[in-house]
Amino acid sequence: MLLGLIGAGRIGAYHAGILKSLDGVDDLLVFDAVADRAESVAHEIGATPSDLDRLFEVADAVVIASSTDTHAEMLERAAGVGKPAFCEKPIDLDLAATRRAVEAVEAAGIAVQMGFQRRYDPAIRSIRRRIADGELGELFLVRSQTHDPAPPPLEYIPRSGGIFRDCLIHDIDAVRYVTGQEVVRVAAAGSALGHPAIAELGDVGSAAATLEMSSGTIAQISGLRLDPVGYDVRLEVFAEKDSVAAGWSDRTPIRSAESGTSAPADPITTFWDRFAAAYRAEMEGFLRVMRGDEKPASTPRDAYENLRVAAACDLSLGERRMVELEEIE
């Protein structure tokens, strides 16, 4: 099996190392707009640098990990030549551009798996299964959070799409995934307290939203640009028969104020650490998708629906009101 990797930046290089180690991958062609970067990554893992035309011509499937503004173009090109694809989120920050790419993929009939890696996190998958099997009974409340240990570089903020489209879209996806429900309305809030430079760029440093789901479950999501203890990503479910969580361990970066407890000795500080198993599992899953052995856990249509919810959160935050999903596209 010959795979083509488009984009050799931070996430692309990480995917490259995983892909080259998987059984069934004979070689990996690596392309990046910066040729030296592609050559460096290829040399490091024993892959082959390539130009983009050759990659699309000879690869059995493509992994799109280039800059966000190229994802839709690369997906449409994959659709045009009938190649299965893995695509990092988002397809695009714009809903109309995203919809066009989704329609192109669906018209071509190619298999596409989106890079919402939390769907491959073992604990999150376990919670989804228990909900789907009815083990937890009625689902009352779901909470999902992404609290980063440090803000991104300021130059990234203007092109990120904002905290809901860039960061909390993962939590939106996780909530939709575990509940099996769609979001019908949202109420969002945000603050730039402590982040004046981010405020000047039109974004916030802390955000939260309440999501009303299609079967009546309430979901809450929250995001922080700065969590001084570490990278704290959790999903918690409160239901009729049990309360369960993903992301709770002796490494969870939060300090208990209860007597007799101590701070985590080795708190999680990076998303690589928190989701190492998920990143590998999603690439193993993509190989199965390529072979036709399973359907993608996350599709371009999921990416579009996630973006709709994020756009509703943006609108709610800006206009300080509850927003119906029907208002968005």
Q: Hey, which CATH number is domain 118-271+298-327, 3.30.360.10, 3.20.20.150, 3.40.50.300, 2.60.40.10?
A: 3.30.360.10
> Among the residues of 135-204, which ranges form H helices?
157-160, 163-166, 169-179, 196-200
- CA gap 54, 56 in Å, rounded: 5
Fold agreement (2-117, 118-271+298-327): no
Residue extents of the structural domains in the chain: 2-117, 118-271+298-327
Structure confidence at residue 125 (pLDDT): 98
Structure confidence at residue 35 (pLDDT): 95
Average pLDDT value for residue range 171-183: 98
- CA gap 173, 88 in Å, rounded: 13
19-48 pLDDT, tens digit each: 999 999 999 999 999 999 999 999 999 999
For the cut 90, the answer to whether the pLDDT of residue 242 exceeds it is yes
For the cut 90, the answer to whether the pLDDT of residue 113 exceeds it is yes
> Among the residues of 188-270, which ranges form H helices?
196-200
Structure confidence at residue 187 (pLDDT): 98
How many Cα atoms within 13 Å fall on the side-chain side of residue 266?
Answer: 3
- Output phi, psi for 141, to 5 deg: -145, 140
Write down the mean pLDDT value for the chain. 97
Dihedral of alpha carbons 178, 180, 182, 187, sign = negative
> Among the residues of 33-168, which ranges form H helices?
35-45, 52-58, 71-81, 95-108, 122-132, 157-160, 163-166
Q: Which amino acid is at 116?
A: F
Structure confidence at residue 26 (pLDDT): 95
Average pLDDT value for residue range 161-175: 97
Name the CA radius of gyration of the chain, rounded.
20
pTM of the shown model: 0.97
Structure confidence at residue 216 (pLDDT): 98
For the cut 90, the answer to whether the pLDDT of residue 329 exceeds it is no
Structure confidence at residue 195 (pLDDT): 98
191-230 pLDDT, tens digit each: 999 999 999 999 999 999 999 999 999 999 999 999 999 9
Reported CATH class of domain 2-117 = alpha beta
Higher pLDDT, 217 or 263: 217
122-138 pLDDT, tens digit each: 999 999 999 999 999 99
Return the structure tokens found at 35: 């040729």
Neighbouring-strand partners of residue 183:
213
Return the structure tokens found at 205: 């440093």
Per-position b or e across 124-138, b if 16+ CB within 10 A of its CB:
bbebbebbeeeebee
Helix (H, G, I), strand (E, B) or coil at 319: helix
Average pLDDT value for residue range 148-169: 96
Number of separate helices (H) and strands (E) present in the chain: 13, 13
